């Protein structure tokens, strides 16, 4: 298998560059239908049954090879949509003209996520070419709306349980550890978003002529926010922590095994300190604590110099990252109750969310993935109980009820969501090898 | 005198419309030199000695008639610069094409302040035409930078004490009371401005990938602001209230005489409540308490929908209105010390300020102005111990050491600093009559 991958390297490289040449920007509905159709053809040429399944938004692409009754089934999830490429002027080479420089492929989507699921597809192709069959059953699910928050995947998964029936799910997405060590993760934080809007007077007024008379919506929001999280960094919304599952001994031990160079981490971000509370461990912050992030605060004058205005409205946008077993519905209800109690004048606008996902660290499926990575890359992966960001893995763990893992193939500096997104050619090849080894290990396991 | 004014009405109206046709936008340095030169010619034609006096910014225009040795001297202050007219699309008629509709002159600067000081000049002209002389000595000082915060008037006044030697100062500026009752004021609040800037990481980061690790500058500013003013509306900056002069019995009595329709005031602004603290009287808020207004708060994402960003910087702009005897230097030093103590990471940027000004309510000069207004308008003025806004009257009271009063001639809905600025023709004529009566009453008083 690895010999076949080695022989086909130039072909794989040419084909992934051709794939990422096609824009598929979900936020702007550019190229989505074309790339979905292209994928169906591609999956069929590889040897899978393939179809697009319409949703209320962009279609899902489904591929399957299920010719091995009794063997386990792995569902490989990815997404074929990409982030908008702006700001274009910061790209060294155009985002949809894939270019190789210094051993890296530069193109929008090469890391997030086209290059990664394309590596999975080349792994499937390699097995079929070499052996005429796969070692296990495979379902490929490629979403077209991940970059706009996966608004329809829960409904889609809940409505197609039979089509998606698998033993477990593996997603190749995200970056590997900065050390270059391969990585596998057992969970993701969830999230929910909301807005707070305050408006008092009908119009902006003069800060002298009416200062002291007219309430200031920025002050209203400042004081409300002050009741939601204190300066010590503790979220103080009633009941917000109720559902949180305490760390297990396995969680603690897993965190202790992870490498950490705190000075390097701070230096790379230009930080003189970590966020409050000061005493929390680096990984505990990302894996086991919710956040309350103000994404934006806007009200009043923001131009040069001064303006003696008392503004009439202000808006705050926030997100909360959720850890197991918080839910967006419960958390948003608690935030709303808090706002109603402390500042009933403020409008609360929920913006939806995504459940967290966790697979227990002692799951027997962990060994299959761990072994596959070590087989392909020669070194065992770093195992993360959870990552700070959010992926819709809950649709697998909580709707389908099967374990879901993330095995990133991209380099840590892939610059996803940013100009000059890239993937090293080595990471791409290692992804194909890892995907091939994964199918092999799945096939060798019991269903 | 009043008969002369009555006869010349059409001529005065045509001339003021010609005057406001000339743009003089200090913020953009448009038309300033032209209008300063135009004013010198105008003052000379009226019969005054006139000159422009250069400053480091826009020139001062000075006029004088001092041919009455032993008689008192009144200094009439005004400003010939105007606010930028944007947004142009909201003007019914173009801002520099004066237009009469429904008994009002519409033009940028007609209320603030060209129409008002032009009324003063027509009063002077009327006296000179009717009597060949003035009843008292007069100095006219017209500034070209009032709308950009009068940054050079203090230095100018301090450097030209002899040229500006007067017994007291009267400024015709601002709006009359909404009831239409004429108004006189004995003081203005001062002000100072500052910015607070917080920056933590070198760049914006993902709220999931680094939420909990990277400090959020919006939270930093929210918590700092929370230490500066509490939700009860009390400013909690150490020492900020130290210099404040307590209300006198005269102040209390003066406030009690002022008419107040609180429901109408709230309705006109669309308010359901006044600003905290709830228990303060309406006029006490504007006259005898400092404010801490957030003019603007900007950081992070402000577009449609959500963005899971953890922003790296945020900026807050504030102003503080000062009551007697607070000073911008002292207040800004106290704010800076507060910021250094509570949030030393935050950058404090002072933006200067203006001293408050008060004339004691029992000054003998009050009667001169009160009588002049009643003579011209048939009704005694409402007497305001102070107004909420700021004018550079401190240069007269605190640098020259003479009393300074404001006697507004414009209607309450003059829309100064806004589109469709206007002055009723009646207010303009009443302004000329009031100016003429004022010169008469000054002349009748003892120097």
- Residue B84 sits at the vertex; the CA angle it makes with B83 and B86, to the nearest 5 degrees, is 130
Q: Which residues have a Cβ under 8 Å from the Cβ of B66 and sit 6 or more positions away?
A: B73, B137, B138, B139
Backbone angles phi, psi at A64, to 5 degrees: -155, 145
Tell me, yes or no, whether A267 lies in a domain: no
Q: Strands of B347-354's sheet, edge to edge?
A: A347-354, A190-199, A313-322, A293-300, B293-300, B313-322, B190-199, B347-354
Burial class (CB in 10 A: 0-12, 13-18, 19+), B241: middle
Among the partner residues A211, A302, A314, nearest to B291 by beta-carbon distance: A211
Do B106 and B119 reside in the same domain of the chain?
yes
CA distance A280 to chain B (A): 9
Q: In angstroms, rounded to a whole number, what is the distance separating the alpha carbons of residues B401 and B97?
A: 40
Backbone angles phi, psi at B42, to 5 degrees: -60, -45
Helix or strand or coil: residue A390?
A: coil
CB atoms within 10 A of CB A64: 20
Do B299 and B427 reside in the same domain of the chain?
no
Do A119 and A179 reside in the same domain of the chain?
yes
B5-26: b (≥16 Cβ within 10 Å) or e: beebeeebbeebbebbebbbbb
Q: Which two tokens stand for residue B185?
A: 């004021």
Tell me, yes or no, whether B392 lies in a domain: yes
Inter-chain residue contact A387 with B209, CB threshold 8 Å: yes
Residue showing tokens 């006697």: B407
Tell me, yes or no, whether A253 lies in a domain: no
Among the partner residues B201, B211, B229, nearest to A388 by beta-carbon distance: B211
Tell me, yes or no, whether A269 lies in a domain: no
CA distance A277 to chain B (A): 9
Q: In angstroms, rounded to a whole number, what is the distance separating the alpha carbons of residues A275 and B310?
A: 12
Inter-chain residue contact A226 with B226, CB threshold 8 Å: yes
Digits of tens for pLDDT over chain B (447 positions)?
Answer: 999 999 999 999 999 999 999 999 999 999 999 999 999 999 999 999 999 999 999 999 999 999 999 999 999 999 999 999 988 999 999 999 999 999 999 999 999 999 999 999 999 999 999 999 999 999 999 999 999 889 999 999 999 999 999 999 999 999 999 889 999 999 999 999 999 999 999 999 999 999 999 999 999 999 999 999 999 999 999 999 999 999 999 999 999 999 999 999 999 999 999 999 999 999 999 999 999 999 999 999 999 988 889 999 999 999 999 999 999 999 999 999 999 999 999 999 999 999 999 999 999 999 999 999 999 999 999 999 999 999 999 999 999 999 999 999 999 999 988 899 999 999 999 999 999 999 999 999 975
Q: Which two tokens stand for residue A204?
A: 């902006």
Range of the domain at B215: 191-244+290-353
Do A342 and A366 reside in the same domain of the chain?
no
Inter-chain residue contact B351 with A295, CB threshold 8 Å: no
CA distance B11 to chain A (A): 34
Residue of B nearest to A290 (CA): B212
Do B11 and B145 reside in the same domain of the chain?
yes
Q: How many CB pairs under 8 A join A and B?
A: 246
Q: Which residues have a Cβ under 8 Å from the Cβ of B320 and sit 6 or more positions away?
A: B191, B192, B193, B194, B240, B290, B291, B292, B293, B331, B335, B353
What's chain A's average pLDDT? 96
With beta carbons under 8 A apart, name residues in chain B contacting A210.
Answer: 269, 286, 388
Do A126 and A156 reside in the same domain of the chain?
yes
Residue of A177, A198, A277, A294 for testing the chain B interface, max B β-carbons within 10 Å: A294
Do B86 and B128 reside in the same domain of the chain?
yes
Residue of B nearest to A416 (CA): B206
Do A70 and A159 reside in the same domain of the chain?
yes
Has residue A31 got a pLDDT over 70?
yes
Residue of B nearest to A323 (CA): B208
Do A196 and A174 reside in the same domain of the chain?
no
CA distance B390 to chain A (A): 7
Q: State how beta strands B168-171 and B404-406 pair.
A: parallel
pLDDT band at A398 (very low <50, low <70, confident <90, very high): very high
Q: Which of A299, A319, A353 is the last residue of a domain?
A: A353
- CATH code of residue A200: 3.30.70.360
Tell me, yes or no, whether A279 lies in a domain: no
Residue of B111, B178, B213 for testing the chain A interface, max A β-carbons within 10 Å: B213
Residue of B nearest to A202 (CA): B270
pLDDT at residue B178 in the model? 86
Bond into A216 cis (ω within 30): no
pLDDT at residue A273 in the model? 97
Tell me, yes or no, whether A128 lies in a domain: yes
Q: Which of A300, A322, A353 is the last residue of a domain?
A: A353
Q: In angstroms, rounded to a whole number, what is the distance separating the alpha carbons of residues A231 and A275?
A: 10
With beta carbons under 8 A apart, name residues in chain B contacting A270.
Answer: 201-203
Q: Which two tokens stand for residue A32?
A: 């989505």
C-alpha separations of B58 from A232, B160, B392, B394 in Å:
50, 16, 16, 20
Do A306 and A379 reside in the same domain of the chain?
no
Do A38 and A118 reside in the same domain of the chain?
yes
- CATH code of residue A82: 3.40.630.10
Tell me, yes or no, whether A260 lies in a domain: no
Q: In angstroms, rounded to a whole number, what is the distance separating the alpha carbons of residues A154 and A394?
A: 8
Tell me, yes or no, whether A36 lies in a domain: yes
CA distance B2 to chain A (A): 33
Inter-chain residue contact B310 with A295, CB threshold 8 Å: yes
Residue of A nearest to B234 (CA): A212
Do B316 and B346 reside in the same domain of the chain?
yes
Helix or strand or coil: residue B191?
A: strand
Helix or strand or coil: residue A287?
A: helix
Q: What is the pLDDT of residues A193-203, one digit of tens each?
A: 999 999 999 99
Q: Which residues have a Cβ under 8 Å from the Cβ of B129 and sit 6 or more positions away?
A: B4
Has residue A283 got a pLDDT over 60?
yes
Inter-chain residue contact B215 with A271, CB threshold 8 Å: yes
Inter-chain residue contact A275 with B301, CB threshold 8 Å: no
Q: In angstroms, rounded to a whole number, what is the distance separating the alpha carbons of residues B330 and A274?
A: 34
Helix or strand or coil: residue A375?
A: helix
With beta carbons under 8 A apart, name residues in chain B contacting A192.
Answer: none
CA distance A210 to chain B (A): 7
Q: What is the pLDDT of residues A333-367, one digit of tens each?
A: 999 999 999 999 999 999 999 999 999 999 999 99
CA distance A226 to chain B (A): 6
Looking at the structure of chain A, the number of domains it has is 2
DSSP B324-392: TT--HHHHHHHHHHHHHHH-TTSEEEEEEEE--EE--TT-THHHHHHHHHHHHHSSPPEEES-BSS--T
Q: What is the pLDDT of residues A259-277, one digit of tens each?
A: 999 999 999 999 999 999 9
Residue showing tokens 């002077």: B124
With beta carbons under 8 A apart, name residues in chain A contacting B191.
Answer: 207-208, 308
CA distance A412 to chain B (A): 12
Q: In angstroms, rounded to a whole number, what is the distance separating the alpha carbons of residues A175 and A274?
A: 22
With beta carbons under 8 A apart, name residues in chain A contacting B272.
Answer: 345
Burial class (CB in 10 A: 0-12, 13-18, 19+), A259: exposed
- Residue A133 sits at the vertex; the CA angle it makes with A128 and A138, to the nearest 5 degrees, is 90
Q: Which of B338, B353, B368 is the last residue of a domain?
A: B353
C-alpha separations of B276 from A199, A204, A225, B318, B335 in Å:
15, 18, 17, 17, 21
Q: In angstroms, rounded to a whole number, what is the distance separating the alpha carbons of residues A315 and A286?
A: 27
């Amino acid at each position: 298998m690895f010999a076949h991958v080695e022989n086909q390297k130039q072909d794989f490289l040419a084909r992934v560059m051709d794939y990422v040449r096609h824009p598929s920007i979900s936020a702007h509905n550019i190229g989505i239908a074309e790339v979905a159709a292209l994928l169906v053809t591609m999956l069929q040429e590889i040897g899978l049954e393939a179809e697009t399944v319409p949703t209320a938004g962009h279609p899902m692409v489904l591929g399957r090879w299920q010719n091995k009754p009794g063997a386990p089934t792995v569902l490989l999830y990815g997404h074929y949509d990409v982030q908008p490429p702006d700001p274009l002027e910061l790209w060294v080479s155009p985002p949809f003209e894939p270019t190789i420089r210094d051993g890296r492929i530069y193109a929008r989507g090469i890391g997030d996520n086209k290059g990664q699921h394309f590596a999975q597809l080349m792994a499937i192709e390699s097995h079929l070419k070499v052996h005429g069959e796969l070692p296990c059953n495979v379902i490929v699910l490629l979403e077209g709306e991940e970059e706009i928050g996966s608004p329809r995947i829960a409904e889609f998964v809940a409505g197609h349980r039979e089509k998606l029936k698998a033993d477990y799910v593996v997603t190749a997405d995200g970056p590997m550890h900065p050390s270059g060590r391969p990585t596998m993760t057992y969970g993701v934080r969830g999230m929910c978003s909301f807005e707070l809007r305050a408006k008092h007077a009908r119009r902006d007024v003069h800060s002298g002529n009416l200062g002291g008379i007219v309430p200031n919506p920025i002050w209203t929001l400042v004081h409300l926010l002050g009741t939601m999280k204190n300066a010590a960094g503790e979220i103080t919304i009633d009941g917000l922590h109720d559902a949180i599952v305490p760390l297990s001994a396995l969680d603690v031990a897993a965190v202790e095994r992870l490498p950490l160079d705190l000075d390097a981490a701070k230096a790379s971000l230009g930080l003189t300190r970590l966020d409050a509370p000061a005493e929390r461990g680096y990984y505990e912050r990302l894996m086991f604590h919710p956040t309350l992030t103000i994404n934006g605060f806007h009200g009043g004058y923001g131009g040069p110099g001064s303006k003696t205005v008392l503004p009439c409205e202000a808006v705050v946008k926030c997100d909360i990252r959720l850890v197991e077993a918080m839910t967006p519905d419960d958390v948003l209800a608690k935030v709303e109750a808090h706002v109603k109690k402390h500042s009933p004048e403020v409008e609360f606008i929920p913006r939806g969310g995504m459940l967290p996902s966790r697979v227990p660290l002692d799951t027997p499926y962990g060994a299959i993935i761990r072994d596959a990575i070590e087989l392909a890359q020669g070194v065992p992966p770093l195992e993360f109980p959870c990552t700070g960001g959010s992926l819709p893995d809950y649709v697998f763990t909580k709707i389908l009820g099967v374990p879901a893992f993330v095995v990133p193939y991209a380099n840590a500096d892939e610059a996803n969501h940013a100009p000059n997104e890239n993937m090293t050619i080595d990471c791409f090849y290692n992804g194909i090898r890892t995907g091939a080894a994964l199918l092999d290990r799945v096939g060798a396991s019991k269903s």
